[in-house]
Amino acid sequence: MKQLFLIASLLLSLYIKSQAQPGSGYAIEFDGVDDYISTSSIDGIDGISQLTISTWVSVGAYGDWKGILTKENVQSDRINITTGGSGDGDNDDLLLVMSNGVHSGGYSTSDLIVLDEWMFISMVFDGTQTGNSNRLKLYVNGVQEPLTYYGTIPATTPSNSAEFFIGQFPPSGRFNGKMDEFRIWNTARTQTEIRDYMCQKLVGNETNLIHYYRMDEVTGTTLIDETGSTDGTLTNMDDSDWVLSGAPIGDASVHAYTVSTATPILNIVHENGDHMTIDITAKTATSIHLYRVDGQPNITAPPGTQVKLSSTTYYGAKVFGSSGGFDALIYSAIYKYEGHPGILDEDDLELATRNDNSDVTWSQETAILDITENTLELTFLLQGAEFILADVGGSNPLPIELVSFDAEVIHANFVRLNWQTASEVNNDYFTIERSIDGVDWDEILRTDGAGNSTALLSYSAVDDKPSLGVSYYRLKQTDYDGMYSYSDVVDVNLNQTITAIEIYPNPTNHQITIEGDRFELQQIKIFNLLGQDVTKQTVTIENMESKVAIDLSNLISGVYLVKTKTTTNNVYKKK
């Protein structure tokens, strides 16, 4: 039985629902011809008085009535965000529609869209206010843009069961470009709230957040809703449509608006103590955002004569509303490396930069090193750049602490432990320790480390004899020289409610029926005990929302693992 659980754990570790990506991760690219994303009737936005829809977009081609978002029953009963549509013929503006029985909305009065540049769009609807200009607002990069209104904006959103589309205005107004970080709130977000969160990821459980699509899938055709509500389906699209995003997004951010030399210095700190500051030295801009990414970047190859990049953190700056050339905003980027792990020789420290997360190479920079202040300083005119600490001589390992460690109950009989490292230096092995009171600890599992590595590595282990009730787990990492360190403590409750499904008959000669929550049954895969996906060798003979029947006649006898969205169950196929 223990062997079976370990095999199940291995298979589960290969399944990734929505991969966590550094920085802005991935975006979805629409071809403007037949690409779009659809969902069933999306929950929580029908007949409400407040709504905010925000997303990062990079428009690839101008077009009239090209849908960014559409929820439509009939023309006078819909929600729309599209490019063009104002009738001025240039198609570089934005159109918002909020209608509930009477066709009404507003379009931007200034040309907002610059091709292939990322912009953060927010449509804010507040039916509790009076007057069109108070009920429907457009924010671009955190700045409210004037609208020309038509019709009367209603007091509530339409109430219909229409499908929800991203990238399409039916029937053929398809968006051309890229999208990232799609967010829907059932409240009217303020300008301050929009600015505070536009350059950083959400968790998915924020108050009033009802749908959140990170766009960080890298394979498949499912758009994951991080709130656990309504997943979408990519239509006429494939794996190639998940592309690296250039949106300026991190795990934390700060900002300044109406930027000039009088703007206070921006500063953002990592928990290990290092931090980045931005000091405006010349010219002006509408805003500047400084963000921090916690973890190893997607591109780890060091440039030039540099031999290693930091695997714990990097920073980015994004300027909006600054002219190019001689009128570009000039600022100093000052990286204070004090507190960064793995620094042995400060003279070998440098910085590397790139434009954004979609840039596949870093550039070596000659920053001003101050070993008294523990800083590296660059002066920039770039509208956007990311900065990372680098080692040029090989004397600074810049090692990672732990990227993540978590524990989860995945079956009534076992707990899975997952952890990731972005790089390892002299790492001998890991030990999993368990406690029932948080005071006395027992070693239950041991796993070899990678020794030395600069790649992002994922580990998984299974506690097949967990304690009932609340248990505590921690990860101990031991070096070759015997030095060790502990992770934070995580806990699980074996009595917690687990989404259940029922499979019968089991054992079976030919057919099984799977019943359960429709969310669970949206994805079903079958593996043999060698870890091979044998789903294509089976035949689905009935497929309903909460009931699926599958013919296993083509499979040889033996034990198989049936994997739904979050559960794994064993099925025995007889001869």
SS (H, E, C) 27-66: EEEEECCCCEEEECCCCCCCCCCEEEEEEEEEECCCCCCE
Identify which of 305, 397, 383 has the alpha carbon closest to the alpha carbon of residue 345.
397
Q: Helices (DSSP H) in 165-220: which residue ranges? A: 191-197
The verdict on residue 396 lying in a domain is no
Structure tokens belonging to residue 510: 């030919």
Q: Is the dihedral of CA 6, 8, 9, 10 positive or negative?
A: positive
Q: Does residue 353 share a domain with residue 290?
A: yes
Integer Cα distance of 261 and 330 in angstroms:
9
Which tens digit of pLDDT belongs to each residue from 103-159? Answer: 899 988 778 899 999 999 999 999 999 999 999 999 999 999 999 999 999 999 998
Q: Does residue 180 share a domain with residue 60?
A: yes
The verdict on residue 21 lying in a domain is no
Q: Does residue 287 share a domain with residue 200?
A: no
How many residues are given for the chain? 575
Identify which of 541, 514, 420 has the alpha carbon closest to the alpha carbon of residue 475.
420
| pLDDT (tens place) for every residue of the chain, 575 residues total | 333 333 333 333 333 334 568 899 999 999 999 999 998 778 889 999 999 999 999 999 988 889 999 988 877 889 999 998 765 556 788 999 999 988 899 988 778 899 999 999 999 999 999 999 999 999 999 999 999 999 999 999 998 878 889 999 988 899 999 999 999 999 999 999 999 999 999 989 999 999 999 998 777 889 999 998 889 999 999 888 999 999 999 999 999 999 999 999 999 999 888 999 999 999 999 999 999 998 889 898 999 999 989 988 999 999 999 876 777 899 999 999 998 888 889 999 999 999 999 999 999 999 999 999 999 999 876 788 999 999 998 888 776 566 788 888 876 567 889 988 866 767 789 999 999 887 788 999 998 888 877 566 889 888 878 887 888 999 988 877 676 777 878 888 876 544 568 898 988 888 999 988 776 788 899 988 777 889 999 999 988 878 899 999 998 888 888 988 778 888 888 87
**CATH code for the domain of 553:** 2.60.40.10
The verdict on residue 15 lying in a domain is no
Integer Cα distance of 221 and 212 in angstroms:
17
Q: Does residue 174 share a domain with residue 131?
A: yes
Task: Tell me the residue range of the domain where 374 lies.
Answer: 252-391
User: How confident is the model at residue 196, as a pLDDT?
Assistant: 97
**CATH code for the domain of 221:** 2.60.120.200
Domain C-terminal end among 493, 511, 544: 493
Q: Does residue 232 share a domain with residue 189?
A: yes
Element at 134 (helix H, strand E): helix 132-135
Q: Does residue 209 share a domain with residue 93?
A: yes
Integer Cα distance of 271 and 419 in angstroms:
19
Domain C-terminal end among 493, 513, 530: 493
User: How confident is the model at residue 412, as a pLDDT?
Assistant: 55
Q: Does residue 507 share a domain with residue 487?
A: no
User: Torsion over CA of 461, 462, 463 and 465, rounded to 10 degrees?
Assistant: -150
Q: How many CA atoms lie within 13 A of 504 on its CB side?
A: 5
With tokens 């968790």, the residue in question is: 203
User: How confident is the model at residue 15, as a pLDDT?
Assistant: 33
User: Torsion over CA of 105, 109, 114 and 117, rounded to 10 degrees?
Assistant: -60
Task: Give me the number of domains the chain comprises.
Answer: 4
Q: Does residue 230 share a domain with residue 153?
A: yes
Integer Cα distance of 112 and 119 in angstroms:
9
Which tens digit of pLDDT belongs to each residue from 445-454? Answer: 998 888 877 5
The verdict on residue 16 lying in a domain is no
Integer Cα distance of 303 and 365 in angstroms:
9
Integer Cα distance of 20 and 197 in angstroms:
18
**CATH code for the domain of 372:** 2.60.220
The verdict on residue 539 lying in a domain is yes
The verdict on residue 398 lying in a domain is no
Q: DSSP for 375-399?
A: EEEEEE--SEEEEEEEESSS-----
Which tens digit of pLDDT belongs to each residue from 298-355? Answer: 898 999 999 989 988 999 999 999 876 777 899 999 999 998 888 889 999 999 999 9
Contact 558, 400 (CB under 8 A): no
- pTM for this predicted structure: 0.71
The verdict on residue 470 lying in a domain is yes
Identify which of 490, 494, 492, 502 has the alpha carbon closest to the alpha carbon of residue 548.
502
Q: Does residue 553 share a domain with residue 476?
A: no
CA distances from 413 to 203, 409, 425, 462, 505 (A): 29, 8, 35, 10, 21
Q: Does residue 130 share a domain with residue 54?
A: yes
Q: Does residue 530 share a domain with residue 484?
A: no
The verdict on residue 457 lying in a domain is yes
Q: Does residue 374 share a domain with residue 300?
A: yes
Domain C-terminal end among 366, 391, 416: 391
